[in-house]
Structure 1
Amino acid sequence: MQQRIAEAAERLGYQPNPMARGLKGGPSGLVGMLVADIRNPFSVAVMHGVEQACRAQGLSLMVCNTDNDPVLERQHLALLTSYRIEGLIVNAAGRHSEPLAELASDGLPLVLLDRSLEGIAADEVGLDNNLAIDMALDHLTEQGYRRVLFVTELPTRASSRQTRVARFESECPERQLAGKVLSLDLDDTTCLDHELSAFLDTPDGHPAAILCGNGQVTLAVTRALQARRIPLGDTGLMGIDELDWCQLVTPGVTTLAQPTDAIGQAAVEQLRDRQAQPIAPAPRHLRFTPQLIPRGSTRREQSASTTDETSP
C-alpha cells in the first residue's frame, strides 16, 4: 500500500500542503515575516537571508508588507496567525503595536529586526548602531574631514535611527568634529536641497562630508550632489548600507555594509531556539559589526588630483 501511494504521488506530482497540515493541528512549517516598507533595500536584503535560513531548515516563509499602515498590520497578523505560523520575524515601523504585544504575551516566538518596540519583550537582531557611527566618524576623521552633516529619515518611530543620531551627537565633540543632524522626509526634496546648500556653502575652510543614515538617504543625497555638480571626495560622501549602484557612481561611494544575510539567518535561529525551550529565557539582543567599504567619495587627495588632471 505504501508503495502504491508513493507511486501515485509521484505520477500525479503531489506536494504536501504545509498550510493544510497546520490547520489540522500539526506543525505548519511556516514562518511569518512582517515588513514595514518592502521598498527599503535593507528589508529586501535581510529577507533574502531569512528565506535562505528557512529553506535550509525545511521551513516556508510568508512575507507581508504593511506600508507603515497599522490597519494593514492588524490584517496581516490575523492572516499569518490563521495559518498557525511557528514564529514571526518583524521589521517594524517603530510604533507600539497592540496585536504584536498580544502575540508575544501568548507565547508566539517573535524576533524583532533592526528596531525595538516599546512594551514588547522579544529577541532582537540587527546592526551594532553605536559601532557603525564610531566607524564612520573614525574613517571621515582619518580622511581629513572636519565638518560632518548626518542626514537621516525622521527618527521618531525607529529606535535604530534614534540610536545613530544620539551616538553621532555625542561622538562628534570627542573627535573635534563640527557635527550637524538633518532629519527629513525623503519626499521633501526642496528641504534636502536647501539644507545641503546651507551646509556646503559655509565658507569656513574646513573640509566637509555627508554621512547618510541608510541606503535610501544615500541615493537621495547622491542625486542632489550630482545635480549641483559637486565632485565627490572633495566633499565627502558616506552611507550606511551597501547598495549595488554605490560602486558604479564615479568615483564610488564609501559605505558601511550590513551583514544582512547573517542578520536574517540569526533571526531564524533565534526563533528555532525559542521553540525548543519550554521556559523562555530573557530576551537576547544580537548586534552585528558592519564592514567598511572605502571608495573614492571619501578620498580627498584623489579628488584633488583628478580635478587637477582634468582642468584645462
Structure 2
Amino acid sequence: MPSPPTRATLIEVAKRAGTSKSSVSRFFGPERDKLSQSLQQRVAEAAAALGYQPNQMARGLKGGGSRLLGMMVADIRNPFSVAVMHGVEIACRDFGYSLIVCNTDNDPALEQHHLATLAAYQVEGLIINAVGQSGQTLLDSGVPRVLLDRDIKHLNAEVIGLDNALAIDMALAHLAQQGYRSILYVSETPEHTSTRQARLERFQQQADAMGFTHQTLMLSHWDIDAPCANLATFVEPYAPGHCAVLCANGNATLAMARCFKRLGVAMGPVGLMGIDELEWCELMTPGITTLAQPTDSIGRDAVACLVNQLERRATPLTFHSRHSPQLLVRGSTAP
C-alpha cells in the first residue's frame, strides 16, 4: 500500500527559491511588500512547484497571525449578503487572507455563539453585518472590526455601505421626473436595523419637502395578504400615471411585485421601484426600475478598511464608507 504524500515544508521552499526560511515566512505573511519583486516571484514559483501551503493555524499559535478574517452576515439568504460576500472574498484573496463566513440568522444568541467560534479560530479581524443596534454581543470582542451596512449605536467602528440618503433622493427625483405625485413607501419593520430607519426617515423628510402625498407600509412576515390589500386601497383613488410604490429593499420589492401580479395592477401606470437590484427585476414584464448597490465595491472597501487596522502600511489603503447606487430605469416607472 503506497504511503500518503508528505507535505512540502517551508525549508524546502526556501532551498528551491535560493533564499532564507525567514524570507519565505515573510512572503506568506503581512510583510510580503518588504521583499523584492524578483524574490517574491521565486518564492511563489517554488511554492507552486512543491505544492506548498502554509499552516495558517500554526502561524496564529506562534503569534504570527492566522491570516484569517471572519465575516458574520445577518441573513445569508439575502441577495445583498451573498453579493457583498463575493467582493469581500475577492479582496481577502488579494490581501493574502482567508475568509470564514457565519450566518447569524438575525438571532443575537447565534451572533454571540459565532463570535466565540471565530475567536477560537483566532481570526485577525471581523466584518459584521449586525443583527441589531444594541451591539451587546459585540462589545466584549477585542478583535478589529468593520460594520457592514448596519450601524450600531455606541460602538466605535467604521460602517461601510450604501449612501441611504442619496438612494432615497435619487428614487424620489426619478419618480417626480416621471410624473408620479403620490408614493407608497414599503419597508420591512425598521426596528433595530439602522439602514431601514435611515431610509424611512429620509423618505418622510424628502417626500414632504418635494410636495408628494405619501403613505408607508410596514411588511409583516406573518401576514402575506395585508400588503396586497394595502396596495389595492392605495391605488384605487388615483388615475394612471399618478401614484407609485417605492420599496426599501429587495424583500419589499419581491412582496409588492407579487401583489401587483395578484391584483392585476399594471406596472408603469402604477409605478414600482426598488432599492437593491435583483436578477429577476429585469426579467419581469415590463422590467422593474431599481437602484443597484455596488456590492463588490462595498465588500472590497470593508476589507480595505479592516486591513488598515491590521497592517501598518507606509501608505494606508483608500476606501469609501458610503457608496452611491446606480439607477437602472425600466418599464415599471414609465407611466
Name the TM tier (shorter chain). 0.7 to 0.9
Structure 2 CA distance for aligned equivalents of residues 91 and 99 of structure 1: 13
Higher relative contact order (CA 8 A, sep 6+): 1
Aligned to 2:270: 235
Aligned to 1:182: 217
Deviation, 1:193, is: 1.5
Partner SS, residue 225 of structure 2:
helix
Deviates more, 1:170-179 or 1:180-189: 180-189
Structure 1 CA distance for aligned equivalents of residues 161 and 14 of structure 2: 46
Is residue 111 of structure 1 aligned with residue 146 of structure 2?
Answer: yes
Structure 1 counterpart of 2:134, one-letter code: H
Give CA deviations for 1:73-93 in whole Å, capped at 9, x if unaligned.
111100101111111000112
Deviation, 1:206, is: 6.9
Is residue 214 of structure 1 aligned with residue 249 of structure 2?
Answer: yes
Structure 1 counterpart of 2:258, one-letter code: R
Structure 2 CA distance for aligned equivalents of residues 205 and 250 of structure 1: 18
Is residue 61 of structure 1 aligned with residue 99 of structure 2?
Answer: yes
Partner SS, residue 250 of structure 1:
coil
The structure having more radius of gyration, on CA atoms, is: 2
Partner SS, residue 16 of structure 1:
coil
Is residue 120 of structure 1 aligned with residue 155 of structure 2?
Answer: yes
Is residue 265 of structure 1 aligned with residue 291 of structure 2?
Answer: no
Structure 1 counterpart of 2:257, one-letter code: T
8 Å Cα contact 1:125-1:267 kept in structure 2? yes
8 Å Cα contact 2:219-2:252 kept in structure 1? no
Structure 2 CA distance for aligned equivalents of residues 11 and 90 of structure 1: 37
Equivalent in 45, 48, 72 of residue 34 of structure 1 = 72
8 Å Cα contact 1:101-1:119 kept in structure 2? no
What stretches of structure 2 of length at least 5 have no aligned partner?
1-8, 17-46, 314-318
Structure 1 CA distance for aligned equivalents of residues 183 and 63 of structure 2: 57
8 Å Cα contact 1:151-1:217 kept in structure 2? yes
Structure 2 counterparts to residues 133-144 of structure 1, below 5 A: 133-144=168-179
Is residue 154 of structure 1 aligned with residue 185 of structure 2?
Answer: no
Give CA deviations for 1:90-111 in whole Å, capped at 9, x if unaligned.
01122313231121xx3x2111
Structure 1 length-normalised TM: 0.87
8 Å Cα contact 2:133-2:151 kept in structure 1? no
Structure 2 length-normalised TM: 0.82
Partner SS, residue 140 of structure 2:
helix
Structure 1 CA distance for aligned equivalents of residues 69 and 12 of structure 2: 32
Aligned to 2:133: 95
Equivalent in 82, 87, 100 of residue 49 of structure 1 = 87
Deviation, 1:113, is: 0.8
Aligned to 2:227: 192
8 Å Cα contact 1:37-1:66 kept in structure 2? yes
Structure 2 CA distance for aligned equivalents of residues 10 and 291 of structure 1: 41
Partner SS, residue 184 of structure 2:
strand
Deviation, 1:6, is: 7.3
Identity in percent: 52
8 Å Cα contact 1:212-1:240 kept in structure 2? yes
8 Å Cα contact 1:129-1:160 kept in structure 2? yes
Structure 2 counterpart of 1:33, one-letter code: M
Is residue 129 of structure 1 aligned with residue 167 of structure 2?
Answer: no
8 Å Cα contact 1:133-1:164 kept in structure 2? yes
Structure 2 CA distance for aligned equivalents of residues 5 and 128 of structure 1: 48
Give CA deviations for 1:126-154 in whole Å, capped at 9, x if unaligned.
11100100000000000010110010000
Deviates more, 1:89-98 or 1:204-213: 204-213
Aligned to 2:120: 82
Structure 2 CA distance for aligned equivalents of residues 210 and 277 of structure 1: 48
8 Å Cα contact 2:241-2:271 kept in structure 1? no
Structure 2 CA distance for aligned equivalents of residues 206 and 80 of structure 1: 52
Structure 2 CA distance for aligned equivalents of residues 150 and 206 of structure 1: 17
